[in-house]
Chain A
Amino acid sequence: MTVRGLPGADLCVHCGFCTQACPTYLTLDDENDSPRGRIVLMKALAKGGFSAEDESLMLSHLDNCLGCRACETACPSGVPYGELLEAVRADTLSQRPLQFVSRLILFVFARPALLRLAMLKVRLIRATGLSRLLARMPGRLGIACATLETTRRPSHGIERRLPRPAVARPAIGPDPAKPSPAAAREAEARAHVAVLTGCVMEGLLAPVNRATERVLSRNGYEVVSAPGQRCCGALHAHAGQEAAAQELARINIAAFEASRAEFIAVNSAGCGAAMKEYGRLLAGSPEWRERAMAMAARVRDVSELLADAGPEPAAAATDAAVAVDHPCHLLHAQRLSEPPARVLAAMQGLNARELPDAVDCCGSAGLFSLAQPGLSQRILAPKLENIRKCGASVVVTGNPGCMMHIGAGLLRSGSPAVTRHPVELLDDAYSARSAQ
């Protein structure tokens, strides 16, 4: 086995400050499953000289890693942990065959026609209510059905709406039907934005994409289309399928260049983090490196664009108790905490508070929840307990993986609480005001 040199690993001085930030260390109680332990293992693998049996044991600890990157925001030395993990996973892909379910998903997600067909089938299952029927079944099938159920929205028929405020709040700010002169001036100045429609988002959570487009328009952005865009490739990169991730990145770079948008808005924290790293992904390709870096510099989480624009305030459309959770790939990978808070603060009267231990990973982590359901559920358990304790009926989080994983956990534990993307709440607030 050949693992490439790991220059960033030398930054680690073994201080151990990362250990308490690591969800798998706190769950598995073995330092081999901690960031500094995994860095020791990576360095040892790069050096070589282990038996095949030892190598697979060492790789199993790397497989246990969620890739949440909470260790990066704990590391004083700036070890690029996520980058090291992806590099080692790519170099060891042949030794460490992915599970069938992971390979199948990665195969389908890289192929638009197959992806559309797959999503159609899955929506069909949802529409028939079959997933609702099986959501409480034990095992992977039950988890998968519950996960699908969390993507159901009022427009799909059965889902209940969030409770409306008992007393209608007076509209705040100018009449939205007639933009104020200032807003009109700003609107002209504000940028053209293309939205990454994504794989799961467009396939199962299309209403979130529509909400994203509406709230961006409402805040003065002109939303343009970017035909030809694909899955961002984050899942492929995380799993070590570097070539597939690079291919998807090149297709997306071309598509978004053609759209002539100044910014690419992403409403999935994991995708945003991956696209902001396109420059690194394609650093080895002389013809793509510059284009990849230019593209990465234009990628924004939707909350960043909204925060730059204000965002325009509106009265909250629900008086439900809202708990705010932070997706790891927003907080740790993209280092964003202020913009998502500004989005929520725009909704006046919103009964929101931060979930206790909101910085901890929920255990979703892309394919991890499917590949390692047992460990994933153990990591989710304290999150569900915190939601139960704080009595929230809505959990907001800006990443589809977290929305579905936490939502499925809530559903299966009999909790009435549901998960929502922050832009869904903002969109509700804007549309409630328009309706008045």
Chain B
Amino acid sequence: MDQLARALSGIVGPQHVITRAAELLVYENDGLPGYRLRPRFVVAPGNRAEAIAVVRALAAANAPFVARGAGTGLSAGSLADGIVMIGLHRMRQIYSIDPVGRTATVEPGVVNARLSKAAAPYGLHYAPDPSSQTACSIGGNVAENAGGPHCLKYGVTLNHVLHATVVLPDGELIELAAPRDDEIGYDLLGAFVGSEGCFGVAVDVTVRLTPNPARVCTMLADFPALDGAAKAVSAIIAAGIVPAALELVDAGTIAAVEASIYAAGYPTDVEACLLVEVDGPAAGLDDDTAAVQRICRENGARAVRTATDSSDRERLWQGRKKAFGAMGRVAPHLVVQDAVVPRTRLAPVLRRIGEIAERHRVRVCNVFHAGDGNLHPNIPCDGNDADEMARVHAACREIMEVCIGEGGTITGEHGVGLDKQPYMDMLFSPESLDAMCRLRDAFDPARRANPGKVVPVRYCREWNASPSARKAVGAAP
């Protein structure tokens, strides 16, 4: 066994260090099919003290590492290429819930939906709700600054993290807190959230809990034409309504969902559906509901139906949230995109995406956070078909070009990881990329935490200037 692995066994127990190739197979992937990289070994600490000790031992050995939560990420961000993987999935303790201050302090491996379940008796929930919320972890959410349908109204992960205890890659323990009005200084927590595991490992996180809304109204609008659905999205926001969620599901996605155990009763004979939810105090909610229905009809909706009760509402949502997994029914592999465009440009962008798909003979299934303009064009494909994959990748690049051309960006919530790296220089100048490297250096000057992700290394000037630093990031000795 690897010397370092043996040393770490002493910290976490031998059963929580996985070294054999046959047992590392499942840790080669995250939630994004198409990328496989084998870690040197996996070490899974069971609590804060163990996690800190593991990072310190890795620092002493000058070993690079990748932290991984539930392995549900969609940018190949938690893949470890021959380096140590720290599995945080065992750290599932909820330390405390403060129903008065509306906060919770949790370990990074706590699963998003389980935190909301634990907060439910107090009438509270954790608002950021990625579609993978039944499986993804808070630590992973912090690393990726995860979004979700309800982030349109309630804000993304960044808006809900109040404090994090972080062990820096060199082993130093720091406390990062969201700045309060009476505090002066840089918002380092803001920099840490969304740093994709490149700045250190959060060993505990304090998050804001949100009161459950007094009333919720969930609507499903059927649009015979995709264009009308896209226009309705922009019109709803323009009318001054801030829905709790505003999601678009297109025909290809509806077909996969309706064939699954999460069939939600979406109509299979339309080009798109909008899932619109308004919530808040009872007063005024009916007006918003009526306005949404009117705007949908004005933009060509065939019908708008309202969820009759909480189980009906849950069913409508489960269809949307499990859509990604249901794509397995269409083809064995899936390329997932995560671009953002200005909401007002949704209709022309969707048209262009349709044209690109047709030209490259690939199938694009759109299911996305329309209210945020956060597109998820999913392309089901067969990874073993080289010709098809070449067409898929060409189509992806063109879709990204269109989104950037319309004033958008390459990721809304999945992170850059490995998957979006090729697009970074389409969006950022070399100077901007270098600035990102310098920020990273403030946290991890040796670049041992999740090396090779987010910013393509060629853009880091000192990095290029210093061969010794490059050596430190190399594969296992």
B342 on the A face (CB < 8 A): no
Q: Which residues of A contact B30 (CB under 8 A)?
A: 14
Tell yes or no: A151 within 8 A of B by CB. Answer: no
Query: Assuming the A-B contacts A16-B71, A31-B27, are A76 and B325 also in contact, with contact meaning beta carbons closer than 8 angstroms in the complex?
Result: yes
B33 touches A13 (CB 8 A): yes
The residue on A at minimum CB distance from B328 is A77
- Whole-angstrom distance between the Cβ of A324 and the nearest chain B Cβ: 18
Q: Which residues of A contact B323 (CB under 8 A)?
A: 76
Chain B: minimal CB distance from A37 (Å):
4
Q: In chain B, residues 122-148, which have Cβ atoms closer than 8 Å to a Cβ of chain A?
A: 132, 134-136
A73 within 8 A of partner (CB) = yes
Q: Which residues of A contact B21 (CB under 8 A)?
A: 54
A47 CB, nearest partner CB in chain B, Å: 10
Whether A41 and B333, one on each chain, are in contact in the complex, defined by CB atoms closer than 8 angstroms, is: no
Judge whether A17 is part of the interface by a CB distance below 8 angstroms. yes
Contact A77 B260 (CB under 8 A): yes
Q: Is the CB of A16 within 8 A of B70?
A: yes
From known contacts A15-B132, A76-B322, A76-B326, infer whether A32 and B332 are also in contact, taking CB-CB under 8 Å: no
Task: State whether the Cβ of A258 lies closer than 8 Å to any Cβ in chain B.
Answer: no
- Whole-angstrom CA separation of A99 from B46 in the bound complex: 32
- The residues in A between 15 and 32 inclusive whose CB is less than 8 angstroms from any CB of B are 15-20, 29-32
Centre residue among A11, A15, A18, A34 by max chain B CB count within 10 A: A15
How many interface contacts (CB-CB < 8 Å) are there between A and B?
A: 115
**B327 at interface, CB cutoff 8 A:** yes
Given the known interface contacts A11-B329, A13-B327, A76-B322, the answer about A50 and B22 at a Cβ–Cβ threshold of 8 Å is yes
B134 and A17 form a contact (CB under 8 A): yes
Q: How far is the CA of A388 from the CA of B63 in the complex (A)?
A: 47
B315-341, CB under 8 A of A: which get 1 and which 0? 000000011111111001110000000
Least distance between A52 CB and chain B CB atoms (Å): 11
- Return the chain A residue nearest B18 by Cβ: A30
Partner of B327, one of A18, A41, A58, A77: A77
A40 to B28, CA, bound (A): 10
Assembly CA distance A74 to B326 (angstroms): 11
Known: A19-B70, A57-B23. A77 touches B16 (CB 8 A): no
- Let me know if A57 and B20 touch, CB within 8 A: yes
Are A20 and B134 neighbours in the complex by a CB distance under 8 Å? yes
How far apart sit A31 and B90, CA to CA, in the bound complex (Å)?
11
Q: Say whether A79 faces chain B, with CB atoms less than 8 Å apart.
A: yes
B261 within 8 A of A: yes
| Cα separation A3 to B111 with both chains bound (whole Å) | 35
CB of B28 to closest CB in A, whole Å? 8
Inter-subunit contact A29/B44 (CB<8 Å)? yes
A12 vs B327: C-alpha distance when bound (angstroms): 9
Q: Is the CB of B134 within 8 A of A74?
A: yes
Q: A30 vs B14: C-alpha distance in the bound complex, in angstroms?
A: 12
List residues of chain B with CB within 8 A of the CB of A18. Answer: 135
Q: Which residue of B22, B46, B262, B334 is within 8 Å of A54 (Cβ)?
A: B22
User: B318 to nearest A CB, angstroms?
Assistant: 9
B366 within 8 A of A: no
- Does B26 interact with chain A (Cβ within 8 Å)? yes
A78 & B260 in contact (Cβ 8 Å cutoff): yes
Q: In angstroms, how far is the closest chain B Cβ from the Cβ of A138?
A: 23
Taking a contact as CB atoms under 8 Å apart, the answer to whether A77 and B326 are in contact is yes
Is A14 touching B23 in the complex (CB atoms < 8 A)? Answer: no
Contact A78 B261 (CB under 8 A): yes
Interface of A is mostly: loop
Q: B325 near A58 (CB under 8 angstroms)?
A: no
Cβ of A20: which chain B residues have Cβ within 8 Å of it? 111, 113-114, 134-135
Q: A183–B113 Cα gap in the complex (Å)?
A: 48
Asked if B262 and A15 sit within 8 Å, CB to CB, the answer is no
* Bound-state Cα–Cα, A78 to B30, Å: 19
B211 CB–A CB distance under 8 Å: no
In the complex, what's the smallest C-beta–C-beta distance from B381 to chain A, in angstroms? 11
Contact with A along B88-117 (1 / 0, CB 8 A): 011000000000000000000001011000
Among B89, B111, B260, the most chain A Cβ lie within 10 Å of the Cβ of B89
Q: Which residues of B contact A77 (CB under 8 A)?
A: 260, 325-329
Interchain CB contact under 8 A, A37 and B72: no
Q: Is B206 an interface residue, CB under 8 A from the partner?
A: no
Which residue on B lies nearest to A77, using beta carbons?
A: B328
Across the interface, do A58 and B22 meet the contact criterion of CB distance under 8 Å? yes
Q: Is the CB of A15 within 8 A of B72?
A: yes
Residues of B contacting A76 in the complex (Cβ-Cβ under 8 angstroms): 257, 260-262, 322-326, 328
Contact string, A237-272, partner B, CB cutoff 8 A, digits 1/0?
000000000000000000000000000000000000
Task: Check A12–B328 contact: CB distance below 8 A.
Answer: yes
Give the complex CA separation of A31 and B325 in angstroms.
18
Q: Mark A59-103, 1 if CB is under 8 A from B, else 0.
A: 001000000000011111111000000000000000000000000
Interchain CA distance A353-B329 in the complex, whole Å: 37
Q: Which A residues are CB-close (under 8 A) to B324? A: 13, 15, 76
Q: How far is the CA of A135 from the CA of B471 in the complex (A)?
A: 63
The answer to whether A75 and B89 touch across the interface, beta carbons within 8 angstroms, is no
A175 at the interface (CB under 8 A from B): no
A218 at the interface (CB under 8 A from B): no
Q: How far, in Å, is B250 (CB) from chain A's closest CB?
A: 17
Residue of B nearest to A18 (CB): B135
Q: How far is the CA of A352 from the CA of B448 in the complex (A)?
A: 56
- Within the complex, what minimum Cβ distance (angstroms) separates B120 from chain A? 12
- B435 CB–A CB distance under 8 Å: no
Within the complex, the shortest CB–CB distance from A222 to chain B, in Å, comes to 35
By a CB distance below 8 angstroms, the chain B residues around A74 are 134
In Å, the complex CA distance between A18 and B78 comes to 19
Min distance, Cβ B417 to any Cβ of chain A, angstroms: 15
Please indicate the chain B residues that have their CB under 8 angstroms from the CB of A10 in the complex.
328, 332
What separation, in Å, do the CA atoms of A20 and B333 have in the docked complex? Answer: 22
The answer to whether A29 and B261 have CB atoms under 8 Å apart is: no
Q: Separation in Å of the A328 CB from the closest CB of chain B? A: 15
Contact with B along A388-402 (1 / 0, CB 8 A): 000000000000000
Docked Cα-Cα span, A16 to B73, in Å, equals 10
Interface centre among B15, B25, B44, B325 (most CB of A within 10 A): B325
- Find the residue from B257, B259, B261 having the highest chain A CB count within 10 A: B261
Measured CB to CB, the closest approach of chain A to B265, in angstroms, equals 16
Closest Cβ neighbor of A58 among chain B residues: B22
| B23-A73 in contact (CB<8A) | no
In the complex, what residue of chain B is closest to A21 when comparing beta carbons? Answer: B134
- Given the interface contacts A15-B72, A31-B71, A77-B329, does A54 sit within 8 Å of B26 by beta carbon? no
Q: Which residues of B contact A57 (CB under 8 A)?
A: 20, 22-23
The CA-CA distance from A235 to B327 in the complex, in Å, is 33
Contact of B23 among A12, A16, A17, A32 (CB under 8 A): A32
Contact partners of B16 in chain A: CB under 8 A: 29-30
- Chain B min CB distance to A366 (Å): 24
| Minimal Cβ-Cβ distance residue in B for A60 | B23
**Given A74-B134, A75-B261, A13–B22 Cβ distance below 8 Å?**
no
Could you list some 25 contacts between A and B, CB below 8 A? A10-B328, A11-B332, A13-B33, A13-B324, A13-B328, A13-B332, A14-B32, A15-B135, A16-B70, A16-B132, A17-B135, A18-B135, A19-B70, A20-B135, A30-B16, A31-B87, A37-B26, A40-B25, A41-B25, A58-B23, A76-B261, A76-B322, A76-B326, A78-B259, A78-B328
Q: Which residues of A contact B (CB under 8 A)?
A: 10-20, 29-32, 34, 36-37, 40-41, 44, 50, 54-55, 57-58, 61, 72-79
Closest A-B pairs by Cβ, 8 of them: A77-B328, A76-B325, A76-B322, A37-B26, A54-B22, A76-B326, A15-B325, A13-B328
**Extra pairs beyond A14-B29, A15-B135, A20-B135 (15, CB < 8 Å):** A10-B328, A13-B332, A15-B31, A15-B325, A16-B71, A17-B325, A29-B16, A30-B44, A36-B26, A41-B25, A50-B22, A57-B23, A76-B323, A78-B260, A78-B328
